[in-house]
Amino acid sequence: MPLKERLNTIEEALPSEVTLVVVSKFHSPEEIMEAYEAGVRNFGENLAQELIPKYEALPKDIHWHYIGGLQRNKVRQIISFVDLIHSVDSVRLYEEIVRRASMIPRCVDILIQVHIAQEETKGGFAQEEAKEAILALCNRTEDKPYRRIRGLMGMATLTEDSSQIKKEFSSLKKLFEEIKAHLPADEKTHFDTLSMGMSSDWELAVEEGSNLVRIGTAIMGKRRSRN
Ligand SMILES: *Cc1c(COP(=O)(O)O)cnc(C)c1O
């Protein structure tokens, strides 16, 4: 099936309120242009050294999502153009993002990554810590011009067991609602994004309340890396 057909099939199945981010990591600018010509404007990458040349080479109306583990020393390189950082997994990373954004200055949208999977390799705040951390960050008035905390991101366990996956997604949705309910009014209005679901589990994620899915392989095809 050509890319455009794979894309159309998924777009038709997605409810209109769910944003599709096409994960283009390890795919060439030419392959990204094929998806762009088919109408995609949201792309996700997980390495700064790959994202930067793509940003430079490709049309400027693309929205770039940073979805991978982000080292603090790479923040400076992407902060001027990245649209949404999904993978804020520590207060120190948050602080570096705010510091670099304030130097431009600009306001950067971020998501707090929460660990919901059984695998230890997947990053993020522990579920019990995420709420406290976000409420504390929302008290940092001086940061507000430079960041908007837009919501949460999580990755489910890689398993065939769909009840396990659903359980993890529904716990993240619950946490999202719980945090949102406790946010101050000025933060609540833009806390609106729940990023969960990939090629293998996006349907389950949408059922459990995701409003942003990050889909790579099922649209772009196989990657030339196991990452
Ligand atoms: C690679 C990646 C995806 C997309 O994975 P697919 O299985 O190819 O859809 C989504 N989210 C994150 C954080 C990723 O690293």
Query: Which ligand 1 atom is nearest residue 217's CA?
Result: 8
What's the gap in Å between 56 CA and the centre of ligand 1? 22
Residue 122 confidence (pLDDT): 76
Residue 150 confidence (pLDDT): 98
List pLDDT tens digits, range 151-201: 999 999 999 999 999 999 999 999 999 999 999 999 999 999 999 999 999
Q: Which amino acid, residue 114?
A: V
- In this structure, what DSSP letter does residue 59 have? -
Query: Which ligand 1 atom is nearest residue 214's CA?
Result: 10
List pLDDT tens digits, range 89-100: 999 999 999 999
Query: Which ligand 1 atom is nearest residue 200's CA?
Result: 7
Residues with CB under 6 A from ligand 1: 23, 25, 46, 67-68, 155, 198-200, 214-218
Residue 225 confidence (pLDDT): 66
- d(CA 20, CA 138) in angstroms, rounded, equals 27
Residues 6+ apart with CB under 8 A from 218: 6, 10, 199, 200, 202
Residue 121 confidence (pLDDT): 77
What's the gap in Å between 76 CA and the centre of ligand 1? 23
Give the model's confidence band at 11: pLDDT under 50 very low, under 70 low, under 90 confident, else very high. Answer: very high
| Helical residues (DSSP H) of the chain, grouped into ranges | 3-13, 29-37, 48-57, 75-78, 91-103, 127-137, 162-182, 185-188, 202-207, 217-220
- d(CA 42, CA 22) in angstroms, rounded, equals 6
Report the percentage of the chain scoring pLDDT > 70. 99
- Residue 226: pLDDT over 60: no
DSSP codes of every residue in 113-137: EEE-SS-TTS-SEEHHHHHHHHHHH
Mean pLDDT computed over 57-85: 98
Query: Which ligand 1 atom is nearest residue 223's CA?
Result: 8
- Residue 227: pLDDT over 70: no
Please name the residue whose Cα sits nearest to atom 7 of ligand 1: 199
Mean pLDDT computed over 32-47: 98
- Residue 140: pLDDT over 70: yes
Please name the residue whose Cα sits nearest to atom 5 of ligand 1: 216
The overall average pLDDT reported for the chain is 96
- Residue 119: pLDDT over 90: no
